[in-house]
Chain A
Amino acid sequence: MKKIWLIIQREYITRVRNKTFLLSTFLTPLLFAGVFAIIIFITVKGQTTDRVAFRDNTGIFQEQEYKRTGVVFISDPEADTSNYLSKGYSAIVYAPNFGINNTDKWQVYSKKNFGLIQSEAIRDIIRNEYERYVFREQGIDVSLLDSVKKASGSLSVETAIIGQGEEIKKGNSGIAYGVGYAASFLIYITLFIYGSMVMRGVMEEKTNRIAEVVVSSVKPFQLMMGKILGIGAVGLTQFVLWIMLMFLLSTGVGFLIPSDVDPETLNSAMAQANESTRMAAISGIKDAVGAVNVPLLVVCFLFYFLFGYLFYAALFAAVGSAVNEDPQDAQSLMFPITMPIVLAIVIMINAITNPESPMAVWSSIIPFFSPIVMMARLPFGVPGTVAYWELALSMVMLVVGFLVTTWLSAKIYRTGILMYGKKPTWKELLKWAFRK
């Protein structure tokens, strides 16, 4: 045990001290925060207002000027496609000449492509005025339209989750969807990153012939487990640091906005495009905290990350021990291992829209897929969507699966690590694995 501990330490320390580790650990959250900050900055400061001329002979537009975020609509009977630029407009709009039943195309002539906010604003003005025009023509009071719109806008649709004899929780399948998607993709990516880190580490030991020196001091199994556990610890460290940094940075960004920008400006700037989504997000997060059992989710995430990693890492180690210098060999031998991981993502995408389908249930129990598929299902609720027995069976199966893959891989590893020459086939690897 003391020797495994030594190996774990070496694997851990050499990797954590490595510049790439430091860079990826500290830059990734900074990158996220940076992108976030840039988006806010552009929304707040980078707003330009375009002047758009319109010509209307039908009387759809009642006013001379309409203002929206990013766009000013100005009536200008003098403007046409040949002179709008010289008159200082970015675009010109012609209202079609054909009365109320005409839903012909409205043509916006412009020299540039408008941004999302501007083109949405132009559409909004036209639709709004067209609706009012139709009401006027039909002799309906326009104020009725306003009150109907106001009423339907404040209507909200909520889903409630109710278990037997439990208090009602607000359900939010959107949030569950997002959390599940993010968690299973995170596991998918880390399986690949840390799995191939194990494989490269084993390949390094084999091709540099360190294995022979070390294996004369420790058992091959100790060397393999030491490497797997050491790299697993690196992965956990990176996760914990990421979570901490993300937390620090997000609170930091939160503090920055109100002090830097007048909240009024921010609100009005974001009003058009962002207000509703932002509100939804905030209330959604509150709902999600109520609906999703966050501590359970975090514990399950760490469990599935750790054992999913352990399950696959041993297989990656076996492949690493089998290949020689040629990285191409690694590619072809890796295929049978990467295939179930990719397949798990495909199943997950299906399972997340239908988390109670038999395929979703069973593949969240099979160890090859369970780390990814189960993480997608869990946010929908335990025991609502995922029954306790399913979760328990899935976890037990994953631990058993980890013991089995490690046991088989250790046998491949023991032979492969000292075997030079031609690349073995999978048939040979299986022979090594099942040999007594």
Chain B
Amino acid sequence: MHMNILEVRHLKKYFATQKAVDDISFSLERGSIFGLLGPNGAGKTTLIRMITGIFYPDEGEILLNGHKFNPVEDVGYIGYMPEERGLYKKMKIGEQAVYLAMLKGLSRKEATERAKEWFVKLDMQTWWNKKIEDLSKGMGQKLQFVTTVLHEPELIILDEPFSGLDPVNANLIKDVIFELSQKGSSIIFSTHRMEQVEEICDHIILVNNGKKILDGTIHNIKQEYKENLFRLEAASYENISHPSFEVIRKEKSSIVIRINEGFSTNDVLSHFIGSGVQILGFHEILPSLNEIFIKKVEGTPLARQFQNVPA
């Protein structure tokens, strides 16, 4: 087994008026949860469609399990849940789950057994003979998730999996996602909801205007984008100026400081302790992904502009 389930190298896809994906490379470790972030129209969907074999890339290559990705033969390894949900409205729910799993290569028997297991697991047993048109949006979402993972794909691609789910069901799905990754499935999680990414993902890339602008683990990225900000809580704030830091702002019972270049946290603390100020709390403020996201994307046009792409 190859270390990286997926490797994407210099992938390009140009449309008539857009460089939808412009030279993106990344790799995905087996069993990890990978966040694919980016504003609307950044090229996320196009990138995913190439990984799922719906589009052929103009240039670049995709390696699945170390081999060149073959859209026809490798469909069974991939489970894809698009952002826009799609199911046959007039078809019975159980049949639909079985049908979609069979299209992925499962036998009817296998597909039926697994579908039943999943229906029990997600508390959907009574749905089997109902039709999609009887389901609410959230229920449809759950069903779509089940059809995505039913054939036990090694690579699961989820595009905004929690939209439309209530907190209880969102947590249920989140737990299942963790469980699947523990069992060895690798998950690509595409979203622009940063709080979910921080909670779930190990590794992220940020895409904007078809280009990758950030790549790394959440920890490393936060370290990279930290601004040496600390929150300090003390009994009193007298005599607090010192060359080692600047006060950024005062809050109710604390202050936010930035440690200047060439100084460390110990310099700051020893200054306060030396001045006889009683310290109640001191901790680093790391930027949230949301802030990093906004910072990176800010300044670029909010929506994609049409470009002329030489053919």
Smallest CB–CB gap between B138 and chain A, Å? 17
Q: How far is the CB of B226 from chain A (nearest CB, A)?
A: 39
Interface residues of A in 4-37 (CB under 8 A from B): 6-7, 10, 14, 18
B89 touches A213 (CB 8 A): no
Complex Cα distance, B3 from A76, in Å, reads 113
B75-130 CB contacts (< 8 Å) to partner A: 75, 78, 80-82, 84-91, 99-100, 102-104
Q: Which of B81, B82, B91, B103 contacts A217 (CB 8 A)?
A: B103
Q: Is A418 an interface position by the 8 A CB rule? A: yes
The residues in A between 130 and 163 inclusive whose CB is less than 8 angstroms from any CB of B are none
Set of chain A residues within 8 Å of B54, measured between Cβ atoms: 212, 215-216, 418
Binds B, one of A203-211, A292-300, A346-354: A203-211
Q: Which residue on chain B has the smallest CB distance to residue A217?
A: B103
List, in ascending order, chain A residues with CB within 8 A of B75's CB: 216-218
Give residues 174-223 of A contacting B (CB, 8 Å).
Answer: 204-205, 208-219
A227 to chain B, nearest CB (A): 12
Given contacts A3-B103, A6-B99, A10-B99, contact A216 B53 (CB under 8 A): yes
What is the 8 Å Cβ interface bit string for chain B, positions 39-53, against chain A (1 contact, 0 not)?
Answer: 000000000010011
- Tally A residues with Cβ within 8 Å of B: 21
B49 touches A208 (CB 8 A): no
Q: A397-436: contact bitstring with B at CB < 8 Å (1 yes, 0 no)?
A: 0000000000000000000001000000000000000000
Contact A210 B88 (CB under 8 A): yes
> A216–B80 contact, CB under 8 A?
yes
Asked if B82 contacts A209 (CB within 8 A), the reply is: yes
- Within 8 Å CB of A18, what residues of B? 90
B89 touching A212, Cβ below 8 Å: no
Residues on A with beta carbons closer than 8 Å to the beta carbon of B72: 219
- Please tell me if the beta carbons of B84 and A217 are within 8 angstroms of each other in the complex: no
Q: Which residues of B contact A214 (CB under 8 A)?
A: 100, 103
Is the Cβ of B90 less than 8 Å from the Cβ of A209?
no
User: Could you tell me which residues of chain A, from 205 to 256, have a CB within 8 Å of some CB in chain B?
Assistant: 205, 208-219
Closest to B108 in A: A6
Which residues on the B side are within 8 Å of A212 (C-beta)?
54, 80, 82, 84, 86
Q: Is the CB of A208 within 8 A of B87?
A: yes
Q: How far is the CA of A205 from the CA of B88 in the complex (A)?
A: 7
Q: Does B208 interact with chain A (Cβ within 8 Å)?
A: no
- Nearest-Cβ distance from residue A172 to partner chain B, whole angstroms: 48
Q: A14-B91, A216-B54 are in contact. Are A209 and B86 (CB under 8 A)?
A: yes
Q: Is the CB of A213 within 8 A of B91?
A: no
> Given the complex, which residues of A lie within 8 Å of B82, measured CB to CB?
209, 212-213
State whether the Cβ of B147 lies closer than 8 Å to any Cβ in chain A.
yes
Closest to A209 in B: B86
For B89, what are the chain A residues with a Cβ–Cβ distance below 8 Å? 204, 208
The answer to whether B104 touches A217 (Cβ under 8 A) is: yes
**When the two chains form their complex, are residues B103 and A6 in contact, meaning their CB atoms are under 8 A apart?**
yes
Closest to B80 in A: A216
- A395 nearest CB across to chain B (Å): 33
> How close is B84's CB to chain A, nearest CB, in angstroms?
4
Are the C-beta atoms of A213 and B86 separated by less than 8 Å? yes
Q: Which residues of chain B in 195-244 are interfacial with respect to chain A, using CB atoms and an 8 Å cutoff?
A: none
Cα(A340)–Cα(B127), bound, Å: 46
Q: For residue B147, which residues in chain A have a CB less than 8 angstroms away from its CB?
A: 213
Cα distance, A210 to B89, chains bound together (Å): 10
User: Which chain B residues lie closer than 8 Å to A7 at the CB level?
Assistant: 103
* Given A215-B54, A217-B100, A418-B49: A208 touches B90 (CB 8 Å cut-off): no
In the assembly, what is the distance between CA of A213 and CA of B82, in Å? 7
**B157 closest partner in A (C-beta):** A216
Which chain A residue shows the least CB distance to B82?
A212
Complex CA–CA separation, A18 to B147 (angstroms): 24
**Of residues B52, B103, B144, which shows the largest number of chain A Cβ atoms within 10 Å of its Cβ?**
B103
Q: Which of B128-161 contact A (CB under 8 A)?
A: 144, 147
Could you tell me the distance in whole angstroms from the C-beta of B51 to the nearest C-beta in chain A? 10
Within the complex, which residue of A14, A210, A217 is in contact with B86, where a contact is CB–CB below 8 Å? A210
Residue of A209, A216, A218 contacting most chain B CB atoms (<10 Å): A216
CA distance A212 to B88 in the complex (A): 12
Considering the complex, give the chain B residue whose CB is closest to the CB of A220: B54
Q: Which of B71, B80, B90 contacts A213 (CB 8 A)?
A: B80
CB distance from B108 to the nearest CB of A (A): 10
Smallest CB separation, B49 vs chain A (Å): 7
With A210-B86, A211-B86 given, name 8 new contacts (CB 8 A).
A209-B85, A212-B82, A212-B84, A212-B86, A213-B147, A216-B54, A216-B80, A218-B75
Residue contacts A-B, CB under 8 angstroms, 16 given: A6-B99, A10-B91, A14-B88, A14-B91, A204-B89, A208-B87, A212-B80, A212-B82, A212-B86, A213-B147, A214-B103, A216-B54, A216-B75, A217-B100, A217-B103, A217-B104
Interchain residue pairs A-B with the least CB separation, the first 7: A209-B86, A210-B86, A209-B84, A217-B103, A216-B52, A216-B80, A212-B82
